[in-house]
Amino acid sequence: DGLPGPTTWAYLVGGKGKNIPPVAGGASGPGSATSKVPPYPGRGMFRPGASNAHVTQLGRQLVKKGFGKNYTKDPGPRWGEDDRRGVEAFQRSQGWRGGAADGYPGPETWRRLFS
């Protein structure tokens, strides 16, 4: 499905896997859009009532990309309905429908939002 599970994620961000040299002329080298995407912190950071810096980071990026109309004030660290609705609007702008546009950021939503 292209989405990393817990083990794959541990290899990707925990330094457990082998280093794979970049492909010459590839799109994921230094200075590319992909290299500037912050690591996805995990779905657990974005559940109702969660409060952390990742929620603030996400909210600021939503505003930057034009999806902050639901905020009545600047985005903050507590995950709420304003955040969920902004993420849902962004997901819908990507052409996602139904359960794919649930308003909760997964790895692909995160990557696209920060690209």
What's the 3-state SS for 72-102?
CCCCCCECCHHHHHHHHHHHHHCCCCHHHHC
% of the chain beyond a pLDDT of 90 = 65
pLDDT digits (tens, 9 = 90+) for 53-97: 999 999 999 999 999 999 999 999 999 999 999 999 999 999 999
Domain 45-115 carries which CATH code?
1.10.101.10
Question: Is the model's pLDDT at 19 over the cut of 80?
Answer: no
Report residue 71 as tokens: 């905020």
- Give the domain ranges of the chain: 45-115
Q: Which residue has the higher pLDDT, 23 or 113?
A: 113
Side-chain-side CA neighbours of 45 within 13 Å: the count stands at 17
| C-beta separation of 82 from 70 below 8 A | yes
Give the pLDDT confidence score for residue 35 in this predicted structure: 60
Q: Average model confidence (pLDDT) for the chain?
A: 85
Question: Is the model's pLDDT at 8 over the cut of 50?
Answer: yes
Q: Which residue has the higher pLDDT, 84 or 17?
A: 84
Angle, to 10 degrees, between the axis of helix 107-114 and the axis of helix 53-64? 50
| C-beta separation of 104 from 44 below 8 A | no
